[in-house]
């Protein structure tokens, strides 16, 4: 590029010093100037490419240096343990033992952290298993108490049914002993009162009990036994 610039300067001076009548020589100097400029343009482009390549190489070199430094830091402890470190001499047993102690301590720390993690995880699982078992027990107790309530209600219903059956039998026995001659029509309450000396309230209760169960019906203003319905 410098040589081409010198060529351009030299051609310009010659071109100016020539008489205007030397047209051919003036044209030759002009072509010389244009050729030198074209070469310079190509050289500038080539220079830019070289500079870009140089920048790329510098970037790669920086990354390589950084990676090498990281790897060196990683292998420093191993080099100390193997006795090939440039930091600690091979016969410096005190520092070497110190490095071994740090290595052992780091291993123990890793094991301790792993054990703590396992203990916490097991405790966590046991806590939730216990909680689930308690919830299951409460559910079972609830189901058991619910079943017990059902049994109690069934038993009460059964006892009430038996008691009711006995009451119906008693009422029916009383009414059948106080029938008219047709053995179907029930006597009037006043006649039953005179014959049995029972109160009107008790007699009406017997009759109402049987009427509720359909064992007594009303026909032509008289109460009669409903013999077509079975005894409930």
Q: How confident is the model at residue 231 (pLDDT cuts 50, 70, 90)?
A: very low
Per-residue pLDDT, 120: 92
The per-residue pLDDT for range 134-174, each reduced to its tens digit, is 776 545 555 555 565 555 455 445 444 545 566 777 777 87
CB 198 within 8 A of CB 192: yes
* Mean pLDDT to the nearest integer, 56-79: 80
Here the tokens at position 3 are 């040589």
CA–CA dist 207, 167 (Å, integer): 12
Per-residue pLDDT, 112: 93
Q: Looking at the predicted structure, is the pLDDT value of residue 199 above 90?
A: no
CA–CA dist 217, 215 (Å, integer): 7
Q: What angle, 0 to 180 degrees and rounded to 10, lies between the N-to-C axes of helices 200-212 and 93-176?
A: 120
* Mean pLDDT to the nearest integer, 92-108: 81
Q: Looking at the predicted structure, is the pLDDT value of residue 56 above 90?
A: yes
Here the tokens at position 56 are 């790329």
Q: How confident is the model at residue 228 (pLDDT cuts 50, 70, 90)?
A: low
Provide the mean pLDDT of the chain: 76
* Mean pLDDT to the nearest integer, 102-122: 90
Per-residue pLDDT, 155: 44
Three-state DSSP at 61 gives helix
- What is the distance of C-alpha 3 from the center of its chain? 77
Task: Write the class of the CATH domain 161-225.
Answer: mainly alpha
Here the tokens at position 226 are 């409903």
The per-residue pLDDT for range 70-96, each reduced to its tens digit, is 777 666 666 666 666 656 666 777 777
pTM of the model: 0.29
What are the sequence ranges of the domains in the chain? Answer: 2-82, 161-225
CA–CA dist 18, 98 (Å, integer): 88
* Mean pLDDT to the nearest integer, 129-134: 79
CA–CA dist 59, 1 (Å, integer): 28
CA–CA dist 44, 156 (Å, integer): 113
Per-residue pLDDT, 86: 59
Per-residue pLDDT, 227: 60
């Amino acid at each position: 590029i410098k040589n081409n610039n010198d060529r351009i300067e030299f051609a310009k001076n010659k071109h100016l010093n020539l008489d205007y009548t030397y047209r051919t020589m003036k044209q030759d100097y002009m072509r010389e100037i244009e050729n030198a400029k074209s070469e310079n343009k190509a050289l500038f482009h080539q220079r830019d490419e070289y500079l870009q390549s140089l920048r790329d190489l510098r970037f790669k070199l920086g990354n390589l240096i950084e990676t090498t430094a990281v790897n060196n830091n990683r292998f420093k402890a191993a080099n100390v343990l193997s006795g090939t470190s440039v930091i600690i001499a091979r016969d410096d047993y005190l520092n070497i033992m110190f490095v071994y102690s740090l290595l052992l301590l780091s291993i123990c720390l890793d094991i301790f952290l792993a054990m703590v993690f396992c203990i916490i995880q097991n405790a966590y699982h046991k806590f939730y298993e216990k909680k689930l078992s308690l919830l299951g027990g409460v559910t079972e107790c609830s189901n058991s108490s619910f079943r017990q309530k059902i049994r109690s209600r069934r038993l009460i219903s059964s006892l009430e049914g038996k008691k009711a059956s006995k009451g119906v039998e008693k009422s029916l026995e009383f009414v059948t002993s106080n029938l008219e001659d047709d053995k179907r029509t029930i006597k009037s309450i006043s006649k039953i009162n005179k014959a049995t000396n029972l109160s009107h309230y008790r007699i009406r209760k017997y009759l109402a009990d049987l009427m509720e169960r359909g064992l007594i019906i009303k026909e032509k203003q008289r109460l009669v036994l409903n013999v077509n319905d079975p005894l409930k």
